[in-house]
Structure formats: C-alpha cells, structure tokens
Copies of this chain bind each other. A is one copy, B any other.
Amino acid sequence: MIELNVELGSNSYPIWMGRGLLSQGEVWRTGLPGRQIALVSNTVVAPLYLDVLKEQLSDYQLIEIVLPDGERYKNLDALESIWHKLLTEQFSRNSTIIALGGGVVGDTAGFAAACYQRGIAYLQMPTTLLAQVDSSVGGKTAVNHALGKNMIGAFYQPHGVVIDIDVLSTLPDRELSAGLAEVIKYGLIADVAFLEWLEAHIEALLARDPEALMYAIEHSCRQKAAVVAADEREAGLRAILNLGHTFGHAIEAGMGYGQYLHGEAVAIGMCQAADLSRRLGWLDDAEVERIAHLLQRARLPVKPPESLSSERFLHWMGVDKKNLNGQIRLILLRCLGEATPAMTVDIALLQATLETYGR
C-alpha cells in the first residue's frame, strides 16, 4: 500500500492506494468521527462492493443510499434524497459519508457532505479509473443544474481517499480507456518522462496489469495533489488540469450528455488543444501526431464528431457571435510536458483548428 498526503494545511488528508483496500478497514477507519456512516453508491457499484464495505463497518450505525447510475442523476434531487435519509435517521454533525462509485457518486455525495449540517466528514472510495486519478482528489464537489454542468457545488476536502486497484477488474473497457485520457493528460501538462513511460506501458495498462496501474495512478495522484496544494480554489495554476476540457465540454454538451464519456471528449479536446498550440508555434506536427497516436493506442477517439460544426463548437465553448473578433482563454501546451493556464488566443486561430483538425 502507498500513502500519499494532500497538503492543504488544516484540510490535509491521505490518499491510500493499494490492492484489496476496501476490505482493509483498519487502514481507512482511523480517525473517522462518530459512529454513524452513510454509504452512498449507485445501482451498478453497490451490488459489487457494498457488502465488502459493510463487513468492515459492522460496529457502526450504517445506512445505505443507492443512487441511480448516470450523469443525469447528478442533480439537486439526488442531494435531497441523501439529506432526507440522513435527517430521517437522525444523523448528527459527527456522522460520515462514504462515497463508493465513480465521479458522479463522489461529486454528489461529497457535496451532500459539504452542506449537511454545514459540513460533515466524507471518504472518497473511487471505483473508476477516472475518479481514482482525477475527481476523487482535490475537493471539487458539485451537482449539475439544468442550466449548466457542475454549477452548484463547493470546494470541500474529503477526510481521505481510498483507491483500491482491484475494483478496476470490473470496470468496462470503454471506461478504462476514458480514465487513461486523464492519466495521459498529466504527462502532457507537467511530465514528459511520465508521458514516455505511458508510451512504453499503454498495453500493460489496457491489460489491467496491477503494477502498471498502480504506477500510473500513483503518479497521476501525485501530480494532482501537487497542483491542488498550490491552488486549492483554482485561482490560477489549478486551471492547467483543464487541458482539453473546454473543447471536451463542448463535445459533451453539444452532442448531448452520455453520447461521449467525459474522458473520450477530453481526449479529442486535448488533440484540438495540441493543434491550436501548433498554430501558435509551440508544438510541431510530429508532437501533435505523437499525442494523438498515444490516445489512439489507449483506444480513445481523437477526431471531433462530424455532426458538430465549428459554429456549434464555438457556441458551447462560450464564444458568442459578437465575440468572433475577440479572444478566448484556454489551456494550451507551451511544449510537451508544460501547460499554460488561461492564455488569450485569437478566435480566428481557434476557428482554424475547429474547421480543420480531424475533419
């Protein structure tokens, strides 16, 4: 087992990574306040792993809240169902929420914990690769609003993050690849050596080799923890974690949520960001191709959907018609291994990327 600390002063917390951690309660039960625990999961994950957890918590007052699976249930109604159950069962300020599932469960349960009686403890137990390397670390919690994704939320750090590598054995292939998109992102934004390691080990990762997964997850979490420690509330630096995300968001929203997985949309978006970086003279053709090639080997899409016109892309990226002569702030690559936050880019260059890259 590896223990890694997210350094945030009085909000610091450990990330535990290893095999079979769900059934090693002695690792993550330490320091939990009170004797009341709410297990929040979804209809896919709960049948697989909830019993394992419950065995580790036999001397606690437990309640189970099983949410429907999917991004469209990450909303205020899900929050209300959690709060209602906690209140009905008279859960106190000293109770704890455990979020067992992917990013949707983690974001929703984390935000429910942030607001219940003005904040109770919660543990993240991510069960997808994407959640393990990204959403479970850093305290960004939120639900979607009908008028925007992740619009209602809080920066609220967990009590700890429990990453059990073994749960990835039941993850569908497509979701494994989607998680690899975020893993590759860490190489692109901050670490060429890790990028090279990924190029050498992408097949091992796809084959779910535990050692390779452990290395990639640890490395990703270290990157994320360092960025979050430097900029918890995304005043500046933390934005580099959004490489490819503004493009990706446009794909997710423009095609209708659920059509593309988040990681798939980000993979395409990172290619578009690379192409735009090339137009600024920061990357060369070979480097743009190298990025796309690695993503393709990870079985990820790299071309934007044909039906999404550059005009609709611009709309979903937040550029409206009256701004077409203006500029936009995006995360781009200065070079391989170095992302630049909030650069101001000519819309005309962006349009060129949208109209030609992958078309």
List residues of A whose CB falls within 8 A of some B CB: 76, 80, 83-84, 87-88, 114-119, 140-142, 145, 147-148, 151-155, 233
Q: Is the CB of A155 within 8 A of B115?
A: no
Q: Is the CB of B118 within 8 A of A115?
A: no
Q: Which 7 A-B pairs have the closest CB atoms?
A: A87-B147, A118-B153, A115-B152, A118-B155, A118-B154, A87-B148, A115-B154
Residues of B within 8 A of A145 (CB): 83-84, 87
Q: Is the CB of A154 within 8 A of B114?
A: yes
Q: Is the CB of B114 within 8 A of A152?
A: no
Cβ-defined partner of A88 (8 Å) among B84, B117, B147:
B147
Residues of B within 8 A of A87 (CB): 145, 147-148, 151
The copy count of this chain in the complex is 2
Residues of B within 8 A of A152 (CB): 83, 115-116
Q: A88-B147, A114-B154, A119-B155 are in contact. List 4 more A-B contacts (CB 8 A).
A: A87-B147, A87-B151, A117-B153, A118-B155
Cβ-defined partner of A83 (8 Å) among B114, B115, B151:
B151
Residues of B within 8 A of A142 (CB): 118
Residue of A83, A116, A118 most packed against chain B (CB within 10 A) = A118
Q: Beyond A76-B76, A154-B154, is A147–B116 a contact (Cβ under 8 Å)?
A: no
